[in-house]
């Protein structure tokens, strides 16, 4: 009887946060995130590395005006986005490129790829991002066909949280697709490629994304 009573008392002392408390914590986090974003977004660009700092390993992707390479700096593997200045100007992508870099330097969230270094030389712009070693969701889906429901919910929750964060900062991502969702080594998602992302204070009318 005594042991059962003690166990019951201990159980009754376990307090779980109410929905009101959880909502308050989320709101406080988002407010701090917004203040941090506004501060970093307007900061002038800085050279935080140079190409000679990295050991170039292999190219893993190519695009309209550049390529993505896996590079090594010390013990850290990174994805280095290499963009040709002349091609960016020729394709009228200067605004998108500047916007992508400014957004990346100002955001920080577990399910978004993080900017580690950025720099430039006479002919190229470089953005070094954390390397998500698990590959693209597109590749995984092509292999398995579809995910089980519980796994789908797990991934959908991460995407939803990432977009709640972005939208609170007035950022529209505008290019969500399996190719832009990566897996980190621990199995969590990392949304990448902010080339179409835009800070919107009012409305935007541009049609963009990836047509299928």
| Residues making up the binding site | 90
- Residues with a known catalytic role: 175
Nearest CA among 85, 102, 105 for reference residue 93? 85
State the DSSP string of 16-32. Answer: PPPHHHHHHHHHHHHHH
**Residues tagged in the binding site annotation for ATP:** 90
Contacts of 111 (CB under 8 A, 6+ apart): 158, 159, 161, 162, 188, 189, 190, 191
130 φ/ψ sector (left φ>0, alpha ψ -120 to 50, else beta): beta
> Which run of H or E residues covers position 134?
none
Q: What is the distance between the alpha carbons of residues 77 and 40, in angstroms, rounded to a whole number?
A: 25
């Amino acid at each position: 009887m005594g042991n059962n009573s003690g166990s019951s008392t201990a159980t009754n002392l376990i307090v779980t946060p109410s929905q009101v408390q959880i909502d308050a914590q989320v709101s406080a986090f988002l407010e701090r995130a917004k203040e941090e974003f506004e501060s970093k977004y307007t900061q002038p660009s800085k050279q935080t590395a140079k190409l000679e700092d990295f050991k170039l390993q292999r190219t893993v992707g190519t695009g309209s005006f550049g390529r993505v390479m896996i590079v090594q700096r010390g013990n850290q593997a990174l994805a280095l986005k290499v963009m040709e200045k002349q091609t960016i100007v020729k394709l009228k992508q200067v605004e998108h490129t500047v916007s992508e870099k400014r957004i990346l330097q100002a955001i920080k969230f577990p399910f978004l790829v993080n900017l580690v270094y950025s720099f430039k030389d006479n002919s190229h712009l470089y953005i070094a991002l954390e390397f998500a070693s698990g590959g693209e969701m597109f590749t995984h889906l092509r292999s398995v066909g579809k995910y089980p429901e519980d796994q789908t919910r797990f991934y959908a929750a991460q995407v939803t949280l990432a977009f709640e964060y972005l939208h609170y900062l007035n950022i529209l991502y505008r290019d969500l697709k399996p190719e832009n969702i990566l897996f980190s080594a621990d199995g969590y998602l990392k949304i990448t490629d902010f080339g179409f992302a835009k800070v919107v204070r009012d409305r935007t009318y541009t049609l963009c994304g990836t047509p299928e």
